[in-house]
Amino acid sequence: MGIRTIAVFSEADRGALHVDMASDAIEIGPAPSAGSYLNQEAILEAVEETGAEAVHPGYGFLSENAEFAEKLEESGVKFIGPPISAINLMGDKIRSKKMAVEAGVPVVPGFADPVESGAGAERIAAEIGYPVILKASAGGGGKGMRLVDSASQINEALVSCISEAEASFGDGRVFIEKFISDPRHIEIQVLADTHGNTIHLGERECSIQRRHQKVVEEAPSPFVDQELRGEMGARAVALAAAVDYVSAGTVEFIVDQNHNFYFLEMNTRLQVEHPVTEFVTGLDLVEQMIRIAAGERLEIEQSDVEVNGWAMESRVYAEDPIRGFLPAIGRLTRYKEPMSGVFGTDKSVRIDSGASEGDTISRYYDPMIAKLITHGKTRDAAISQMRRALDEFIVIGVTHNLDFLAALMGHPKFRAGELTTNFISEEFGDRFIPADTSHPDPKILAAVAGVLHGVLEGRRAQISPRHRDGLAATREDMPLDDHWVVILNRTHYPVRLAETNGEQVVLVDGDRFSVSGGWSPEQELFTGAVNGEEICIQVDRNEAGFRFRHYGFLADIRILRPVAAEMLTRMPEKRDTDTSNLVMSPMPGLVVSIDVDEGQEVRLGDKVAVIEAMKMENQLFAECDGVVAKIHCQPGDSVDVDQVIMEFE
């Protein structure tokens, strides 16, 4: 658009990607967000210093802060977003529910006023009926929310909810509403200008969540038909018009299995998942926000909005799926994004990233590294593009969720569109272990491993390899019965290699595979085809052999001669160290509380401590019965991942 942009950054983000991309950049404070990205005065000083005409707040920090928008207005600077009155109305979940009722939008049964005490919470929950959900009035991103199944849980949940809400938003008000079982989370994107024109751009399906935070989004929804889309869109537009909304905004709904929908909240900002709507409508929402802020009319009417194809977004997080998806920190020692255009997917793969190789993922901010978005003519095509792109995405140095996302994309229920907000917990449980993921055909991986091993053997023998289709050939004199054993996650596969009429032929336990493609020992990806089917495998060489990553399946591979492989089966297995008597921090964070004393008797499942990371509280529980022998940390201490907090006798 030819507009000069100035980025603001904290001390921790001095080398961040957005700083490099902007026309100019100004440091506004220390790493903690309270002193930088939430520091209104520092940002206002940056505005004055640079002579900026407008501020786009992004989708975090001050993006829905009416006070900040008001200060900009007083300074004569345009806030690229909705009016202050709309931010105030919709930013308060209690007031927004009342406004929705007045606008004729159905809402979830509940009690809209703040809960004052545990006794009050028990009374309200009994009236509504369990299960209920506690929500911070100023909340968002899953913070300040607790699901309660019975009266015995509600007091503790209320205290925790209020504490988290105060820490995250400076507002401890909490309300209660009925929890809808097996719901879908579906939202409507709206656009409104200053001339009274309001339209919607269809829906996004956001049901794939964990801890109330979105993980995968798509547009359109596989659940929504044309009739439901029209009704939900009309209600969203009516609510936006009722609050004199201007700019881009999102009305979120909970939808039950009978297509009944209930107002959840309105986000008065750009959503993280806006790219899927941009892919299917062809509209740039940020551009639209800027044009609306400049006083321009919308160039399209509701009848002009068309949904073309299907878009899918996966949020790539620095988190540890094995530890229940808890946030992770570290340095991106290797970071390589998927190539747009691979496998003929030109312009069908988009990366919205905030990181570069060498960057550090700190404990100060949200652990999202990037958003990976794909597009296809159909939902299946968008999923296929996503699976290939995830296999190409290389992240080393920080624990991440790429393998989980890949496994999710291949899950039969996900592919069938059978989604609810409980999908992850019901299908994957509290944690995800890549090594436990099944592969549709492990023999394919064994075949590729055999070919790659042949390349290494040829190099070791210092024989100049011939190249066919970009893949180094095996030794010219290698007979068909010269064979190896590929040990893939402890499963043995006899493998024989040969070259027949210029193609690599691999026999894996009697099954024949034709392998073509390109790989050399310096490359991190094998891209090619097996029996004519395109494939991309992430390859990590190690002393023992290879580690493959494909479709969320992690394969540790060793390749031995048959005699050596047989001898390996006789070796005793190494036993894991027993740590059941230790309580260790599952993530880097801050100790909020220690809930037991030395010498106290505890039972399996008793809460013993609370750790806070990225403003979210995580309770730690005893993994066995015992007596607290020693406490190693105190409230206020910073802890690293796996640091021992206490031990039992």
Beta bridge partners of 495: 484, 508
pLDDT of res. 340: 55
pLDDT of res. 502: 59
How large is the angle between the packed helices 93-102 and 84-91, nearest 10 degrees?
100
pLDDT per residue over 247-292, tens digit each? 999 999 999 989 999 999 999 999 999 999 999 999 999 999 999 9
Sign of the Cα pseudo-torsion (506, 511, 514, 515, in order): negative
> Domain coordinates of the chain in residue numbers?
6-87, 109-178, 309-420, 442-568, 582-648
Residue bearing the bigger pLDDT, 351 or 137: 351
In angstroms, the CA 11 to CA 25 distance is 12
- 126: closest CA among 99, 152, 88? 152
In angstroms, the CA 555 to CA 487 distance is 9
CATH architecture of 582-648: Beta Barrel (2.40)
Beta bridge partners of 186: 205, 253
- 265: closest CA among 249, 248, 280? 249
Sign of the Cα pseudo-torsion (363, 425, 204, 353, in order): positive
Beta bridge partners of 255: 184, 261
Residues contacting residue 249 through CB under 8 Å, at least 6 positions apart = 82, 86, 90, 189, 190, 192, 240, 266, 267, 268, 269
265 given a catalytic annotation: yes
pLDDT range class, residue 501, cuts 50, 70, 90:
low
pLDDT of res. 214: 94
- 626: closest CA among 595, 580, 577, 576? 580
How do 78-79 and 110-111 pair as beta strands?
Answer: unpaired
pTM, two decimal places: 0.81
CB 646 within 8 A of CB 608: yes
Sign of the Cα pseudo-torsion (70, 73, 77, 79, in order): positive
Residue 159 structure tokens: 């205290």
Percent of the chain, pLDDT > 70?
93
pLDDT of res. 344: 44
Most confident of 310-314, 453-457, 518-522, 599-603: 310-314
Give the mean model confidence (pLDDT) for residues 149-177.
88
Residue 433 has pLDDT above 70, yes or no: yes
pLDDT per residue over 15-27, tens digit each? 899 999 999 999 9
Residue bearing the bigger pLDDT, 2 or 588: 2
Q: CATH says 6-87 is which class?
A: alpha beta
CATH architecture of 309-420: 2-Layer Sandwich (3.30)
Q: CATH says 109-178 is which class?
A: alpha beta
pLDDT per residue over 446-462, tens digit each? 999 999 998 888 777 76
- Give the CB-side neighbour count of residue 570, counting CA atoms within 13 A: 5
pLDDT of res. 352: 94
pLDDT range class, residue 500, cuts 50, 70, 90:
low
Q: What is residue 210's DSSP assignment?
A: E
- 644: closest CA among 578, 583, 590, 580? 583
Q: CATH says 442-568 is which class?
A: alpha beta
In angstroms, the CA 402 to CA 413 distance is 19
SS3 state of residue 603: coil
645 phi, psi to nearest 5 deg: -95, -40
pLDDT of res. 620: 87
CB 609 within 8 A of CB 620: yes
Any idea which of 54-63, 456-465, 584-593 has the lowest mean pLDDT? 456-465
Residue 303 structure tokens: 């009848």
Residue 499 has pLDDT above 80, yes or no: no
Residue 341 has pLDDT above 50, yes or no: no
Task: Identify the active-site residue in 203, 217, 265, 319.
Answer: 265
Tell me how far the alpha carbon of residue 145 is from its chain's centroid: 18
Residue 538 has pLDDT above 90, yes or no: yes
pLDDT of res. 462: 60
426 phi, psi to nearest 5 deg: -75, -35
